């Protein structure tokens, strides 16, 4: 059984659904200069008139938010995990006064959510810092912390009483992973710097740790009722074999890929094991004398997670590889795969949640989990039984985690509430939403909304608090 008050919801991100990229004073974010390319998104030098930037309109939540939120309410959502576009509030990141039109937009979104009794769960920074700041070194520059805190102060003061749950950074552990568009997104280093080194990424990550901790202290001073979470991408690796070398490698991989960030933000200090990794990679973190105290004081209240799949790791480099959510690993021969090659592992969710709660003893929240697929419209309907099957098995695993293992999970917010633009490719064809949006990869379409079969199914799950998953 799911507990009373469980936050059944769904998720999106501003840069993947909003559009309205230059309306009402919004500035250019790092996502706004990523055009469609033959192999995913390609960073351009500013906005090029002959290129297609799908994030500029995305699935147009900016102009459809009332319609969309009414559909969320029809589905029965109790929570909506979303993000605020930093450049709607501070267009270049360096302004001293926030953009009032941007603040008003989110006032309207929050008011509309509350009208239907939907709790907003807000990500402060979801991969879209201001473009202007990325050219100053992005998060490798410690000055970024001050810009971020000014942004936080503006939204904390404005939305006090409207937002309770805040996530300081989306999938903060992905700042450690070397991959194309995220590096270009200024999450890690200088926007145009081709030298994407471990040293730069971990220095940038340290600055994000400090920014998060200071934002939490700031937020609590503004509203003691605020609750703050870290948000981690689950990158759970199993050992490919039971050979002790593979088991040790899997442990070390998990430590570096996601446990490290959680340990810092939850325990308030750098864990001992990371010293080995820093020595191996010749990483030397520059810290200020006050940083240790900041980390200790700015610990989170809960841990939010994205969970899509698991991986294997081992020393057999000839083993078949598989790609997934921002990471590549070895294929697990015991798991099925989706049409996009992601392995499906609901049991892994139960394992992960048990492991993390045993480690940290903090409430957990699932804010991303879902199946990307090429949905098609037939006679005005979208039959996505494959998505229902995926979600059903993961919700069953979640129920067992809560009811049998006594792990406190606050909510479940699958990815995604409605179709959106994929982060890595900029395409819409890999759809996740409960609501279909009529738009193609080049932005053509009516933008009409069509609830999928999964919409009606999830509505039933929520209405019965998880009892009816048929």
Quote the CA–CA distance of 212 and 116 in Å, as a whole number.
Answer: 30
**Residue 179 vs residues 92, 234, 235: alpha-carbon distances, Å:** 25, 16, 15
Cβ contacts of 324 within 8 Å, gap of 6 or more: 308, 309, 311, 341, 342, 343
Q: What is the CA radius of gyration of the chain?
A: 21
Q: Is the Cβ–Cβ distance between 77 and 435 less than 8 Å? A: no
| Catalytic entry in 119, 128, 171, 399 | 171
Residue ranges of E strands in 224-280: 227-233, 237-239
Q: Is the Cβ–Cβ distance between 354 and 297 less than 8 Å? A: no
Place of tokens 């906005």: 47
Across-strand partners of 336? 344
Q: Is the Cβ–Cβ distance between 220 and 159 less than 8 Å? A: no
**Residue 290 vs residues 153, 191, 212, 287, 296: alpha-carbon distances, Å:** 21, 28, 14, 8, 10
Residue 368 bears catalytic tag = yes
Query: Which stretches of 328-446 are DSSP H helices?
Result: 346-360, 385-403
Residue 95 bears catalytic tag = no
**Residue 30 vs residues 17, 82, 156: alpha-carbon distances, Å:** 15, 18, 23
| Catalytic entry in 18, 128, 368, 399 | 368
Residue ranges of E strands in 49-175: 79-83, 119-123, 165-167
Quote the CA–CA distance of 432 and 441 in Å, as a whole number.
Answer: 14
Nearest-CA neighbor of 264 among 224, 226, 208?
A: 208
Cβ contacts of 72 within 8 Å, gap of 6 or more: 10, 80, 113, 116, 118, 417
Give the number of C-alpha atoms closer than 13 A to the C-alpha of residue 239, restricted to the C-beta side: 12
**Residue 154 vs residues 30, 112, 230: alpha-carbon distances, Å:** 21, 20, 20
Q: Which residues are catalytic?
A: 171, 368
């Amino acid at each position: 059984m799911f507990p009373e008050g469980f936050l059944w919801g769904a998720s999106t991100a501003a840069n993947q659904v909003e559009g309205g990229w230059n309306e009402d004073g919004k500035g250019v974010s790092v996502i706004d200069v990523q055009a469609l390319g033959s192999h995913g998104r390609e960073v351009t030098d500013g906005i090029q008139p002959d290129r297609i930037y799908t994030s500029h309109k995305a699935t147009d939540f900016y102009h459809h938010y009332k319609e969309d939120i009414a559909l969320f309410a029809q589905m029965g959502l109790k929570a909506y995990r979303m993000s605020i576009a930093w450049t709607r509030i501070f267009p270049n990141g360096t302004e001293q006064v926030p953009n009032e039109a941007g603040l008003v937009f989110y006032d309207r979104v929050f008011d509309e959510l509350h009208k239907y009794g939907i709790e907003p769960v807000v990500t402060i920074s979801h991969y879209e810092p201001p473009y202007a700041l990325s050219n100053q070194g992005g998060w490798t520059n410690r000055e970024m912390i001050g810009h971020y805190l000014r942004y936080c102060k503006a939204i904390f003061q404005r939305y006090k009483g409207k937002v309770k749950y805040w996530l300081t950074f989306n999938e903060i552990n992905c700042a450690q992973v070397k991959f194309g568009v995220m590096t270009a997104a200024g999450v890690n280093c200088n926007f145009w710097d081709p030298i994407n080194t471990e040293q730069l990424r971990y220095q940038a990550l340290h600055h994000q740790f400090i920014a998060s901790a200071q934002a939490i202290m700031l937020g609590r001073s503004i509203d003691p009722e605020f609750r703050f979470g870290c948000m981690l991408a689950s990158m759970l690796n199993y050992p490919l074999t039971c050979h002790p070398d593979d088991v040790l490698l899997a442990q070390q991989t998990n430590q570096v890929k996601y446990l490290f960030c959680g340990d810092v933000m939850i325990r308030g200090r750098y864990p001992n094991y990371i010293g080995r990794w820093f020595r191996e990679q010749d990483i030397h973190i520059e810290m200020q004398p006050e940083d240790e105290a900041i980390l200790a004081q700015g610990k989170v209240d809960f841990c939010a997670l994205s969970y899509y799949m698991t991986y294997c790791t081992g020393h057999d480099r000839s083993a078949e590889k598989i790609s997934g959510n921002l990471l590549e690993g070895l294929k697990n021969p015991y798991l099925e795969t989706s049409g996009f090659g992601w392995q499906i592992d609901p049991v892994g969710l139960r394992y992960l949640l048990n492991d993390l709660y045993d480690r940290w003893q903090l409430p957990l929240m699932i804010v991303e989990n879902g199946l990307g697929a090429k949905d098609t419209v037939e006679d005005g309907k979208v039959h996505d039984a494959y998505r229902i099957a995926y979600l059903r098995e993961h919700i069953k695993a979640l129920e067992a985690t809560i009811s049998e293992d006594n792990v406190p999970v606050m909510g479940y917010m699958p990815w995604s509430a409605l179709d959106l633009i994929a982060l890595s490719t900029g395409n819409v064809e890999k759809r996740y939403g409960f609501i279909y949006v009529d738009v193609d990869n080049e932005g053509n379409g009516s933008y009409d909304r069509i609830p999928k079969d999964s919409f009606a199914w999830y509505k039933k799950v929520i209405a019965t608090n998880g009892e009816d998953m048929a």
